[in-house]
Structure 1
């Protein structure tokens, strides 16, 4: 009888951190699993057992920059507060690093179906759904008319966050979120 070895999860952090280092140095297109394996002191088989594709590895590495991926907005009583709970707007180095990595990945998405699918499935989709939940909560509180399309408003918020982070390079902070909510989304 053949027994499978248990996966040693203690290596995951090293592999993900190494992935971010290699990604920052070479970019997604030139990064290879061989590079990550060599630098992390792991075999390619170890990496492929955990992550079936380079895209999955990179998405997990990006997600590892945030302690707990936010997939549900906290109910803070305000839409701006709920949105703030989803974001890492602290300005800490890992948030800035994540933003730079995401900018590089977003530019490649139209050209790499695996990467595009992984980013949409694991990052963009869950975040947009969490924003939608926050918008629906605000509708229930009466701050947004119930006839407005919560899905469309969630897409507008996501687009504004990406535009501000990627195109203008300005911070996505509580002040911006409050201005976005009060000036665009609600009837205040």
Structure 2
């Protein structure tokens, strides 16, 4: 869908007379779109708001995107491209420490931002037929699910987790609970919350023993 909307925008630009459009500001405008969407929601958001936030002329925004829907589609696609490189994931030897190693400030901020964008599209979750809300859900949740899927499979491969584990379902546990926290409860994602979900829900579901606090204060799994 995104490619169709983007292609439509490009065709519209090409069809208009005048000099070639300058797309160097597209990234700034799309980032501003995500910010306004997260703050105002899709219904209240306007293209004028985006232009002000991006410090861009209204004509620039309207020439590039013929409608609010097409603008949001491209912004969501940009959000979806910001994925964690799977070859850069931590490999500490245990899945618990691998997951905890993901708790870097920038990753937590990015994850929360994704969910807040999804929250901005809440009004479309029931009525939307264009696939916009579905695209937002995929862009906000799927990258995190992919990371968890990879770490769980790695734990299975090294014999830490039982082979019978339902990888697909369990990979969605932390992202789903994080999304609920941000979208429904309107609370931030913080390390304490994530540790509670991992130790209290995910690890037991994987068949791993509960963590305990060692002398240095770091939680460990008993052997």
Q: TM-score, normalised by structure 1?
A: 0.69
- The equivalent residue for 1:32 is 46
The Cα of 1:116 is off from its aligned counterpart by 1.9
Gaps of 5+ in 2: 1-13, 210-223
> Which structure dedicates a bigger proportion of its chain to helix?
1
Aligned partners of 2:47 and 2:61 also within 8 Å: no
Report the secondary structure of 1:132's partner residue. helix
- The equivalent residue for 1:14 is 28
Residue 44 of structure 1: which of 56, 62, 69 is its match?
62
**Residues 1:118 and 2:135 aligned together:** yes
Question: Aligned pairs, how many?
Answer: 181
State how far apart, in whole Å, the 2-side matches of 1:94 and 1:122 are.
12
Aligned partners of 1:15 and 1:36 also within 8 Å: yes
Q: Deviations over 1:107-142 (max 9, x none)?
A: 532322332231244333343233212211111122
**Residues 1:76 and 2:91 aligned together:** yes
Q: TM-score, normalised by structure 2?
A: 0.60
Report the secondary structure of 1:15's partner residue. helix
The Cα of 1:147 is off from its aligned counterpart by 0.7
Aligned partners of 1:83 and 1:177 also within 8 Å: no
State how far apart, in whole Å, the 2-side matches of 1:80 and 1:117 are.
30
- The equivalent residue for 1:182 is 203
State how far apart, in whole Å, the 2-side matches of 1:165 and 1:22 are.
16
State how far apart, in whole Å, the 1-side matches of 2:74 and 2:111 are.
19
Aligned-residue CA RMSD (Å): 3.8
